[in-house]
Amino acid sequence: MADFSDDEDRLLYRLAKAQVDAGHKISWRKVWLDMPFCGKT
C-alpha cells in the first residue's frame, strides 16, 4: 500500500481519482509507480 502520509502522494491520488470521476481512463499503474513507497530510497 502506498504511504499517503506525504501530501504530494495524496495530491497525486486525488488528481488521478478526479480524472476517473470525470470519466477519463487513466493508468493507475503509472500513478502507483509515481508514488514513493514506504522505505523506498
C-alpha cell at 33: 509507480
Copy the grid coordinates of residue 3.
504511504
Q: Please state, in angstroms and rounded to a whole number, the distance separating the CA atoms of residues 9 and 25.
A: 20
Categorize the per-residue pLDDT at 11 as very low, low, confident or very high, splitting at 50, 70 and 90: confident
CA-to-CA distance for 27 and 30, rounded, in angstroms? 5
| pTM above threshold 0.75 | no
- pLDDT digits over 14-38, tens only? 988 888 888 878 777 777 777 666 5
